[in-house]
Amino acid sequence: MSSDLVLRKHARWEGVRGPLVLAILDGVGIGAGDEADAVKLARTPTLDRLWAPGVRTQLRAHGTSVGLPSNDDMGNSEVGHNALGAGVVHEQGALLVGRSIASGALFESACWRELIECCRRHGSALHFLGLLSDGNVHSHVDHLEAMLDGAARAGVRKLYVHVLLDGRDVAPTSALTYIDRLESFLAGLRAGGADARIASGGGRMVVTMDRYEADWRIVERGWHAHVLGDGRRFPSARVAVETLRGEAPGIIDQDLPPFVIGDAAAAIAPIVDGDAVVMFNFRGDRAIQISRAFDDDDFTAFDRVRRPDVRYAGMMEYDGDQHVPRRYLVTPPQIERTMGELLARTGVPQLAISETQKYGHVTYFWNGNKSGMFDDATETYVEIPSDRVPFEQRPWMKAAEITDRLVDELRTGRHRMARVNYANGDMVGHTGNFDAALVAVETVDLQLARLLAAVDQLGGALIVTADHGNADEMFQRKKDGSIERDKRTGLPVAKTSHTLNPVPFTIHDPARGDRYEIDPARADGAGIASVTATCLELLGFEAPSELAPSLVRFR
């Protein structure tokens, strides 16, 4: 075993006596404290109690602090858990893809050239499938337009886009803004001689973008719409959205059902033999399953009816261990020596637990985009199956069941370190339902009280933080910071995306006495990557020098 993967004992701190538990309150940031802030307005006696002087601070969880292009980019769960687990800020997908396009490297890659040659040789179509958005969390419309233009310039004459509508990382009913922009761009390509059109679509939460195999029916709906051309047909994407909204008043973009562009006779562009397909999402979690549907020979998740013989490529390699997909355009960041690996190589027993919606975040993303365990003997991963109902209808989600299992596991004495994700603040926050978000935050607070009692009983310590904000800002804001209101009703306009707000960080360790405290100088401007070194030191180890500095100062 490489010696640089084995942690050294801390010179001045023997480590907490009991288990160290890191609780990640997904989507629970520190907001403005006004009427938009469901975190502040929720009843949270446990969080209030934990927010104690000397062991609390705020951490940055967006922009360059988590490897995104600029500080105007909101954080997200993928990059947040990469940073929390690695302790080092790595340049992430949005930045890497943007740079590859700007430099021309993407268009010179062997994968891109293969796709273009396939289409030119056979006169076949190049399909682009992905999230139509500028949220910069899963994708960016700029990347799509650059590739459409690059393909047209390279001589591809059939260009079709299968649009997944956002309303989650952007305004909840903004789909037509992006559709109109794309239609205008495609019209320009048609003027240059290409047949460039939108071919199918649907809302991201019901079509194609499932994750962690929570509900393969979502991917199956997408397969039928995009590949088979099987679905309700409309003459255009705009007509589809307007019609579907009219039939379900109040529906937001992420929940729109699948649609196919065509007429009574046929869809305009199903995916057929000889075509090429690019999944233009750069984020992996919601792109893996559709990639498997295209790539896997022994696929059994649903009946594909027919599997076209196509060249399929992802924007990036979405799973580096399983090599999904087989082809990709941009090399993802190489994340090594994560907290999970360092603890495993040092022989420290550790537990990772969450419900399905965030299970991959405390495992796959935490471990640097790697599937599986580093050491089966010392690691335990627990997935609590998520419900298959809209999150606003059951905002408590599986927080109680997670806590039940976590407390039981801690009481076995097997685990020196545990990490847990409570998904409520994020998943319910994305619905835009303020009342449900209040319940979500209060649910997590109640479970923290149960967890806190167990940790105290075991003589351990509890760290509470988050990966990014969401429920802390449930209403849209104008440029001047005031809350945007509906002109007709006067009510605040719902916000479904993440925020740019900092996240809390606090340590509960009754046995610490005056042995350590959070160092204000280190905490000033620090990002969530500093959580790794902090955890390692509290466990009684020296933090490797390449990590973002620990937040604690020992006396």
What is the four-CA torsion angle of 67, 70, 75, 77, rounded to 10 degrees? -40
Question: How does residue 320 score in pLDDT terms, banded at 50, 70 and 90?
Answer: confident
Find the mean pLDDT for residues 357-378.
Answer: 94
DSSP 408-439: HHHHTT--SEEEEEE-HHHHTGGGT-HHHHHH
Q: Beta partners for 164?
A: 131, 202
To 10 degrees, what angle do helices 399-411 and 434-457 make? 10
CA-wise closest residue to 161 among 206, 226, 216: 226
Marked catalytic residue, from 2, 3, 70, 77: 77
CA-wise closest residue to 283 among 348, 328, 349, 238: 328
Instruction: State which fold the 94-330 domain adopts.
Output: 3.40.1450
Taking residue 29's Cβ as centre, other Cβ atoms within 10 Å add up to 29
Q: What is the pLDDT of residue 319?
A: 84
To 10 degrees, what angle do helices 237-247 and 175-191 make? 160
CA-wise closest residue to 37 among 302, 359, 490, 429: 429
Q: What are the domain boundaries of the chain? A: 3-91+334-554, 94-330
CA-to-CA distance for 498 and 484, rounded, in angstroms? 16
- Residue 459, helix vs strand vs coil: coil
pLDDT, mean over the chain: 96
Angle of CA points 114, 115, 120, to nearest 5° = 95
Question: How does residue 5 score in pLDDT terms, banded at 50, 70 and 90?
Answer: confident
- Reply yes or no on whether the pLDDT at 371 is more than 90: no
Q: What is the pLDDT of residue 2?
A: 55
Q: For residue 5, which phi and psi values (nearest 5 degrees)?
A: -100, -5
For the chain, helix, strand, coil in percent to 5 are 35, 20, 45
- Reply yes or no on whether the pLDDT at 483 is more than 50: yes
Asked about 109 being catalytic, the answer comes back as no
For 213-235, what is each residue's pLDDT tens digit?
A: 999 999 999 999 999 999 999 99
CATH class assigned to 3-91+334-554: alpha beta
Find the mean pLDDT for residues 242-264.
Answer: 97
Q: What is the pTM (predicted TM-score) of this model?
A: 0.85
The residue written with tokens 């940790």 in the block is 455
Find the mean pLDDT for residues 379-400.
Answer: 97
Backbone dihedral region for residue 15 (phi beyond 0: left; psi -120 to 50: alpha; all else: beta): left
